[in-house]
Amino acid sequence: MPLLINRAVTEDSWLLVDEADFSAHLSEDIVVPYELFAEHSEALLSAEGKLGVRINGDQDLNLLLQHLDKLALIAVEFPAFTDGRGFSFARILRRSGFAGQLRAEGDVTRDRLEYMERCGFDAFAIPADRYSDDITSAFGEIPVHYQGCADDERPIFRQ
Amino acid sequence: MYQYNEQDQNLINARVEQYRDQTRRFLAGEIPDEEFRGLRLMNGLYIQRQAPMLRIAVPYGLMNSVQVRKLADITRKYDKNYAHFTTRTNVQLNWPKLEEVPDILAELAEVQMHAIQTSGNCLRNTTTDHFAGVIPDEIEDPRPWCEMIRQWTTLHPEFAYLPRKFKIAVTGGPEDRAASRVHDIGLHLVKNAAGETGFEVLVGGGLGRTPVIGKVIREFLPQQDLLTYLEAILRVYNLNGRRDNKYKARIKILVNALGIDEFRKLVDAEWEIIRRTGLALTDDYIAKIKGYFEPHPYAADAVDGLSVLENQLEDNADFRAWYERNTREHKVAGYRAVVISLKPHLKPPGDITDVQLDAVADLADTYNFGEIRSTHDQNLVFAHVAAGDLYTLWQSLRDLNLARPNIGTLTDMIVCPGFDFCSLANAHTLGVAEKINEKFDDLDYLYDIGDIKLNMSGCINACAHHHVAHIGILGVDKGGEDFYQITLGGSSREDASLGKIIGKAVPQAEVADTIEKILQVYVENRFEDERFIETVRRIGLDPFKERVYATVN
């Protein structure tokens, strides 16, 4: 699954772990599912390696907001391209000061990349069958923004 | 009216090219059907029963003559020489080709028009009062605020994949000609005790399968907070609205489930965080946008036309009938607002031909400062016609079959296209509308019945707002046959109410007769000068039920 970070294809340096194997990888950079984080947050937050959490729209963003300074990656799942909750998650995370990698996962395809980036995502895990080399031309298709966005909070009337 | 600057133009030009590429990739098999559906809907393109349908945005119902001429041209070049105005004051083409839509959009962009967000689960076209800026009792012209909302909603990156569609209506004062109480958000310009202008905000109104009257979420919102507050509502909705069932996904369901007080708490908590951000409106921006809606250069000597007009009214009964039914007061002496009826005898409501469009554009240039408005009940308005011009304008409109003196009467119906065109519809509507037109063609009878609102939808999605009509007709399918359920007592105005079903649905052939019986009960029971809706409210449904469902002896 190709991974774009800051519009460039990048090797994924993170390891996705689960309930069974997370304790063996606490010194590495790991991404854990939300439930695992909720249950073992103390151990995970004090681990040696960098920590990432994967969340979806049904889960409680507030838990992550309490620990933003300790999180280096947040992966937001889009179970379907029609599920727009992840856009608001991104906006809230960025305005709350989250400076780590914000990764869009799941049904993440070309025609939503620009909006996702404007909301604060900087990483995109694209399903292999929907990836093409010219996919990055989706960024910047619309050069004018009426609304403020994560990289420029000014709406058109303050630009 | 608002004029695009370079940025606005760049935006819609880029959007055309973006959509062109999306269409190309779809036709090349690179975008799955379901995903392209989402993309084309967000750009107003439906796939209908017979052909695609393209819905073109008319922001807050305001157009100029150049735009209307372009519409005429497009219907000739890409469609079947007519267009259809909708209850969101938009305009639809019923026969475009999917492959040609990008070219249509490119032509529209030349005249500052587009199809952005005219469908799909996103922020839709904002609507307002079609007499905005000309009615005497308005607090303030709502259109500058509509324009600010238009800019904020256009290609909003966070709210393009909402649980369901989202509609906002704005009124300039206490009178409500925009059906704002049955919108996801209704905004009313009001003054507070200190004399400051702001908004009363309603949320959670809507029609469709579950009609609901909106609830007041905020009695007074300072004007500079307009967009921060809207954004707070939208964010709460985007995060909490149901996504498991499209019939329970509108904001009205969320507001009802949480209760308005709990919903307000969530909105206020979000609003507190964003209220003082850059999204707060600046005085400069407000002034700049208002500058586009300055009054037209009205002629000081327009009042001189009043005496001529008086003679013309006296001499010509047909002209007088049109004047009384189809024109309204204007706040500037010597001017009238004229409603152009798109409800001619035996033609689909809201339809207009290329020839009529061109002629309307020319007439607007001659008599109305080049301005044309579309109304939520599917007519057009020339809002500023000098008294001395009314007679010649009427003659021209009459020659174009656009002067039927039926505004506000029974035959000024809102009717959706129904089964003939729409793939959602369960029943035909156009044929029934025709039957009603045939039966009630007598003007004296229509004038005697007076102000009445009849709306007809071809399915429970209620596109023609039948729930809020004085007489609502809903087409249903019963074992392959069209039946029609009738409701009475609805209103979309400041006294908004939902109509109640009077009994079992009637077959197609009996609809017009049933309406006649209902009107008989009204005529027999009304007090002098009592409108239909008032009589229904006073005497209740029983007398109507008894007459309609009486067993024949």
Residues from chain A that touch B121, judged by Cβ atoms under 8 A, are: 82, 84
Q: What is the pLDDT of residues B75-130, one digit of tens each?
A: 999 999 999 999 899 999 999 999 999 999 999 999 999 999 999 999 999 999 99
Q: What is the pTM of this model?
A: 0.96
Mean pLDDT of B216-236: 98
Whether A111 sits inside 8 A of B35 (CB atoms) is: yes
d(C-alpha B125, C-alpha A95), whole Å: 28
Quickly state the pLDDT bin for A5 (edges 50, 70, 90). very high
The predicted pLDDT at position A149 comes to: 86
Residues from chain B that touch A88, judged by Cβ atoms under 8 A, are: 158, 235, 238-239
Residues from chain B that touch A95, judged by Cβ atoms under 8 A, are: 273
The predicted pLDDT at position B459 comes to: 94
Shortest Cα distance, chain B CAs vs residue A11, angstroms: 25
Mean pLDDT of B459-481: 94
Residues from chain B that touch A154, judged by Cβ atoms under 8 A, are: 278
The predicted pLDDT at position B183 comes to: 97
d(C-alpha A148, C-alpha B536), whole Å: 50
d(C-alpha A66, C-alpha B45), whole Å: 43
A60 phi, psi to nearest 5 deg: -90, 110
Residues from chain B that touch A115, judged by Cβ atoms under 8 A, are: 157-158, 160
Residues from chain B that touch A153, judged by Cβ atoms under 8 A, are: 277-278
d(C-alpha B117, C-alpha B43), whole Å: 5
Q: Is the pLDDT of residue B10 over 60?
A: yes
Q: What is the pLDDT of residues B138-171, one digit of tens each?
A: 999 999 999 999 999 999 999 999 999 999 999 9
Residues from chain B that touch A118, judged by Cβ atoms under 8 A, are: 157
d(C-alpha B96, C-alpha B115), whole Å: 13
Whether B14 sits inside 8 A of A157 (CB atoms) is: no
Among A76, A117, A147, most B C-beta atoms within 10 A, so best to mutate, is A147
Residue that is written with structure tokens 């004018």 in the block: A144
Quickly state the pLDDT bin for B420 (edges 50, 70, 90). confident
Contact status of A129 with chain B (Cβ, < 8 Å): no
Q: Are A79 and A56 in contact (CB under 8 A)?
A: yes
Distance of CA B352 to the CA centre of its chain: 16
Whether B155 sits inside 8 A of A155 (CB atoms) is: no
Quickly state the pLDDT bin for A28 (edges 50, 70, 90). very high
Contacts 24+ apart (CB under 8 A), B239-244: B239/A57, B239/A85, B239/A88, B240/B266, B241/B162, B241/B163, B241/B164, B242/B163, B243/A57, B243/A82, B243/A83, B243/A85, B243/B163
d(C-alpha A55, C-alpha B169), whole Å: 35
Mean pLDDT of A41-65: 96
The predicted pLDDT at position B513 comes to: 96
User: Closest to B18 (Cβ–Cβ): which among A84, A91, A142?
Assistant: A142
Among B15, B161, B254, most A C-beta atoms within 10 A, so best to mutate, is B161
Whether A144 sits inside 8 A of B281 (CB atoms) is: no
The predicted pLDDT at position B553 comes to: 52
Residue contacts between A and B (CB atoms, under 8 Å) = 102
Quickly state the pLDDT bin for B312 (edges 50, 70, 90). very high
Contact status of A133 with chain B (Cβ, < 8 Å): no
Closest residue on chain B to A140 (Cα): B14
Q: Is the pLDDT of residue B48 over 90?
A: no
Whether B157 sits inside 8 A of A155 (CB atoms) is: no
What count of other Cβ atoms lies within 10 Å of the Cβ of residue B333? 11
- Strand B327-329 to B215-222 pairing: unpaired
Q: Is the pLDDT of residue B509 over 60?
A: yes
Q: Are A110 and A138 in contact (CB under 8 A)?
A: yes
Distance of CA A128 to the CA centre of its chain: 18
d(C-alpha A156, C-alpha B339), whole Å: 36
Q: What is the pLDDT of residues B382-405, one digit of tens each?
A: 999 999 999 999 999 999 999 999
The predicted pLDDT at position A151 comes to: 77
The predicted pLDDT at position B12 comes to: 98
Whether A84 sits inside 8 A of B162 (CB atoms) is: yes
Q: Is the pLDDT of residue B137 over 90?
A: no
Residue that is written with structure tokens 């049933």 in the block: B514
Closest residue on chain B to A117 (Cα): B157
Q: Are B241 and B207 in contact (CB under 8 A)?
A: no
Quickly state the pLDDT bin for B421 (edges 50, 70, 90). confident
Tell me the two tokens of residue B469.
């009509």
Residues from chain B that touch A148, judged by Cβ atoms under 8 A, are: 277-279
Whether B17 sits inside 8 A of A115 (CB atoms) is: no
Whether B121 sits inside 8 A of A82 (CB atoms) is: yes
Whether A109 sits inside 8 A of B157 (CB atoms) is: no
Shortest Cα distance, chain A CAs vs residue B426, angstroms: 27
Closest residue on chain A to B241 (Cα): A85
What count of other Cβ atoms lies within 10 Å of the Cβ of residue B277? 15
Mean pLDDT of B474-488: 95
Q: What is the pLDDT of residues B330-345, one digit of tens each?
A: 999 999 999 999 999 8
Interface residues on B facing A, Cβ-Cβ cutoff 8 A? 7-8, 10-11, 14-15, 17-18, 21-22, 30-31, 35, 38-39, 121, 151-152, 154-163, 227, 235, 238-239, 243, 273, 277-279, 281-282, 284-285, 288
Closest residue on chain B to A60 (Cα): B239
Tell me the two tokens of residue A31.
């991404």
Q: What is the pLDDT of residues A133-143, one digit of tens each?
A: 999 999 999 99
The three-state secondary structure class of A4 is: strand
Contact status of A144 with chain B (Cβ, < 8 Å): yes
Mean pLDDT of B32-51: 90
Q: Are B185 and B237 in contact (CB under 8 A)?
A: no
Whether A88 sits inside 8 A of B281 (CB atoms) is: no
Q: Which element (helix H / strand E) includes B268?
A: helix B260-274
Whether A87 sits inside 8 A of B157 (CB atoms) is: yes
Quickly state the pLDDT bin for B552 (edges 50, 70, 90). low
User: Closest to B277 (Cβ–Cβ): which among A109, A143, A153?
Assistant: A153
The per-residue DSSP string of B420-453 comes to GT-SS-SS--HHHHHHHHHHT--HHHHHHH-S--
The predicted pLDDT at position A136 comes to: 95
- By C-alpha distance, which of B76, B31, B46 is closest to B358? B76
